[in-house]
Structure 1
Amino acid sequence: MNSKIKVLLVDDHAVVRAGFKLLLATSPNIEVIAEAECGEQAIQLYQSCQPDIIVLDLSMPGIGGLETIKRLVQRDEKVNILVFSIHDEQVYVNRALNAGAKGYITKNSAPEILSDAIEGIQNGQRYVEHGLLNKITDEVSEHDFQAIAQTFSAREFDVFRLLAKGLTAHKIADELCLGYKTVANYVTQIKKKLQVSSIAELAHIAILLGIIKH
Structure 2
Amino acid sequence: MKDTQTTLNKAVALILQYLESNWHPETKVVNYQAADVLQEKLDLSLPDEGVTLEELIPIVESYLQYSVRTGSTQFFNLLFSGSSIPGILAEMVTSATNTTMHTYDVAPVATLMERELIKNLNSLVGFQQGEGLMVTGGSNANLVGMLCGRHKVLPEAKLKGLGHHRLVAFVSEQAHYSYAKAANLMGIGIENLVKVNSDREGKMIPEALEAAIQQSLS
TM-score when normalising by structure 2:
0.24
| Greater strand proportion | 1
TM-score when normalising by structure 1:
0.24
Relative contact order, CA 8 A, sep 6+: which one is greater? Answer: 1
Structure (1 or 2) with the larger CA radius of gyration: 2
